Amino acid sequence: MNVRLSRRGFITCAATGIAAGATSGHAAASGQPNSAQPSAPAAVRTVSARSKGTLPTGRIGKLTVSRLISGGNLISGWAHSRDLHYVPSLMRAYNTEEKVLETLQLMEEHGINTIIADPRKKPMDIFKRYWTERGGRIQWIAEGHPGVDDWKTNIQQSVAFGASAVYVQGVIGDRWYKENRLDLLGTCVEFIKSLGVPAGIGAHKLEVIQESEKRRFGADFYVKTLHHTNYWSARRSNEMVDVVDNKDDNYWELDPERTIGFMQEVEKPWIAFKTLAAGAIKPESGFRYAFENGADFVCVGMFDFQVEENVALVRQILPEVQNRQRPWMA
């Protein structure tokens, strides 16, 4: 008997086996639909048409943010796949622009109201379509990529387009720490705040956060890696390299206990990322570990078929971790 496997079915099976993992603002006035803009086509339902529920939220500045935040890599067109080099192509073949629009809509319908994404890649075009064609209102936290010689332009463009908040991307913070340029982080934070949105600092290296607190850069929130190391491809003691010099696709919380210990004293919202070690850790394990150990939010990339399960897991886990050691800071 010939069995016809659907495109979604094939990708689901493939992604579960090799990249299950990839689970691992408000729009600007120009992006949000208004009376002067065309309404969504009749064939496309709007976000409000079929709500499936809500998620617990926290606050970052004036923003109300779902405890589960979507990562942006999968809609940007690439995925962390270690040495499985065909995975990014497979992911892009599945995550067409229309599929991404559907996924954003599905996220909002399940209560995910915020996404973190890189403004240098294609998300901005997709966000504009989503906001205008489907009436979406998902908030965008921009993964800022300021340069040493031009630290304003990238940030300005993100806010002008509709970013609800901006933070300096983690590898940049790591690099500036290594190059003894960390004061630039304070300069960027001040500039982001001057544009009227919350300002954050990202890092893989804990020292970036420690120095930012010591020097009182005034970040409104931090975006810091957190995951346990109980997974097969975790780095061993003889494989440790500086994250800035890393040429391998392997992630990146080298000392979670140090991170957990220091962040207990930080009285600012903490978005934990790489919580699934780029797909090497199962969501039920990674989410619980992050929330139990102090994260206020978790950021994870999702395919459409992972959204409902991820939301259900977060809704299940959160009531069980209310008495954690680090108080909720958001």
Interval 29-64: pLDDT, tens: 333 333 333 334 444 566 654 557 789 999 999 999
Residue with tokens 């209102």: 137
* pTM assigned to the model: 0.83
Least confident segment among 75-79, 168-172, 191-195, 252-256: 75-79
The string of pLDDT tens digits covering residues 117-138 is 988 767 788 999 999 999 999 9
Query: Whole-angstrom Cα distance, residue 21 to residue 304?
Result: 13
Whether the per-residue pLDDT at 80 is higher than 90: the answer is no
List the domain boundaries for the chain. 21-27+54-229+247-321
CATH architecture of 21-27+54-229+247-321: Alpha-Beta Barrel (3.20)
* Identity of residue 232: W
pLDDT tens digits, residue range 9-36?
A: 434 444 433 333 344 333 333 333 333 3
Task: Spell out the residues 6+ positions from residue 310 whose beta carbon is closer than 8 angstroms to its own.
Answer: 23, 68, 283, 287, 300, 302
- Helices 170-178, 206-214: crossing angle, 10 deg rounding: 70
CB 208 within 8 A of CB 201: yes
